[in-house]
Structure 1
Amino acid sequence: MSVIDNATAAKEYKGINGWLVLVALGQVVGPVRLIASLYEYYNQPDIGASFQAFPMLVGIEALMNTGYVALMLACTICFFQKRSIFPKLFIWEVVLGPALILLDALMVMAMLPSTNLDKLIDAETAKDVGRSVGVAVIWIPYMLVSKRVKATFVN
């Protein structure tokens, strides 16, 4: 392939097109969904009682959630600025999503030994973890091998 062919190929693959449109949609919708979900969670009537009974657990959950929202927002900004760090941040984002859910469940089990995992991970949570793992299985390889990703995230 000549230098001209390489330049043409780079122009052809550069930009938020193709499959990256789906990533863009996820980067916009994901943080909004998470923030709405966290707002609902932290505005439950019994959250005060949970905090009084388990302040360390609720505090750690809040820190994890805040950190994850910050990561998602940073990742989204890097995506639209076409930063070269975006693919790495995105991989962290999709790996940490299900990992934090499972870590939270393990922390609850450690603090409340009588709690079973099946009580902590309801059908909705299991569906969210499964969806997150599916996203990771599909999009991590894409971020690592895609010509479009390599040509787009160069700033």
Structure 2
Amino acid sequence: MDQAKTDLQGVKGWLIVVGLIVVIGPLYMLAVMPKMLKDFFYGEPWAAINAPGSVVHWGWKPLVLLEVSFGIAAFIGSIVLFCQFFGKQRGFPRLFIATQILSILFYFGYTIALHLMLPGRPLLDTDSIVALLRTLVPPLIWIPYMLKSERIKQTFVE
């Protein structure tokens, strides 16, 4: 292998930022998920959804269960990403891209479902625009990086 390709191997440059994302992701989820699960299943919203004779929209319960399921799947996926990143597994870039795309799809699906259940609520208010940007900007940066970077191609070869 020539020197130029050897210099591009390893976690250096922008790949350090990806590594931080991969490390912080599961830690953040581990910190947030217990409260989220407690709020969903032991808080007032879940009690209101399940109350006898409740007039809450029928879609809330499946939506909450879908959100919790997606959160658990995202946590498991973040652990797999972590292992693949530090194992320098060949499948890491594809899995990273897949998680980015799935987060976008989930965001749009969730937003549309909320809009259908709450038709009076504006589809794009300030909070949802911020959430949209938070969902779209990272994939717009990292997907092209995963596809084009020589460092990615030279590092994830196992």
TM interval, short-chain normalised: 0.7 to 0.9
TM-score (ref. length: structure 1): 0.80
1:1-155 to 2 correspondence within 5 Å? 6-44=1-39, 45-49=43-47, 51-52=49-50, 54-110=60-116, 112-118=117-123, 123=127, 125-155=128-158
Residue-by-residue CA offset, 1:113-133 (whole Å, 9 max, x unaligned): 5352448x662x532431231
Residue-by-residue CA offset, 1:39-64 (whole Å, 9 max, x unaligned): 33322222422552533222222222
Q: Secondary structure at the match of 2:88?
A: coil
Q: 1:142 to 1:117 in 2, by over 3 A?
A: same
Q: Given residue 30 of structure 1, which amino acid in structure 2 is its aligned partner?
A: G
Q: 1:122 to 1:33 in 2, by over 3 A?
A: farther
Identity %: 26
CA–CA distance in structure 1, aligned partners of residues 105 and 29 of structure 2:
15
Unaligned runs of 5+ in 2: 51-55
On the 8 A contact 2:22/2:78 being kept in 1, the answer is yes
On the 8 A contact 2:107/2:135 being kept in 1, the answer is no
Larger helix percent? 1
Unaligned runs of 5+ in 1: 1-5
On the 8 A contact 1:87/1:143 being kept in 2, the answer is yes
Which ranges of 4 or more aligned residues in structure 1 deviate by more than 6 Å? none
**Residue of structure 2 equivalent to 1:3:** none
> CA RMSD for the aligned pairs?
2.3
Q: 1:97 to 1:35 in 2, by over 3 A?
A: farther
CA–CA distance in structure 2, aligned partners of residues 55 and 10 of structure 1:
52
CA–CA distance in structure 2, aligned partners of residues 148 and 10 of structure 1:
8
Q: 1:138 to 1:89 in 2, by over 3 A?
A: same
